[in-house]
Amino acid sequence: MTANQVWDSLLTLVVADIDEQKGATAGGLYAFYEANKEQDPGRHRANGGSGSGDTRAKLKELQQEMLSTRTALETATGDPGAQAARQGCRS
């Protein structure tokens, strides 16, 4: 997998509606990258995609945090269109 493919995959996993994002800053993603770029890639393959309970719990926690942050940003910027789109994407 090339670096571009890894980056695209990371963005797709972190930002649910990446193709709809326009003009948004990627500061959080860059911070995540900087914090994790030295990590051993093999540690991600060690789970074999099974996703341990701790991993799933952390994922759920991060998804909730991302949703809260997105909601706060939308409220602060007064973007009701983004709020409606987000509500329509909830599963």
pLDDT (0 to 100) of residue 63: 92
Spatial distance between the Cα atoms of 31 and 69, rounded to a whole number of angstroms:
15
pLDDT (0 to 100) of residue 64: 92
pLDDT (0 to 100) of residue 1: 85
Both 78 and 58 in a single domain? yes
Residue 44 is assigned to a structural domain of this protein: no
Residue 45 is assigned to a structural domain of this protein: no
Both 62 and 31 in a single domain? no
Residue 24 confidence (pLDDT) above 70: no
Both 32 and 60 in a single domain? no
User: What total number of domains does the chain contain?
Assistant: 2
Residue 2 confidence (pLDDT) above 60: yes
Residue 91 is assigned to a structural domain of this protein: yes
DSSP 18: G
Residue 64 is assigned to a structural domain of this protein: yes
Q: What is the dihedral of CA 72, 73, 78, 84, to 10 degrees?
A: -80
**25-74 residue pLDDT tens:** 778 888 888 888 888 877 666 555 554 567 888 888 999 999 999 888 88
| Positive/negative CA dihedral, 61, 35, 89, 73 | positive
Containing structural domain, residue 56: 51-91
Both 27 and 60 in a single domain? no
Residue 24 is assigned to a structural domain of this protein: yes
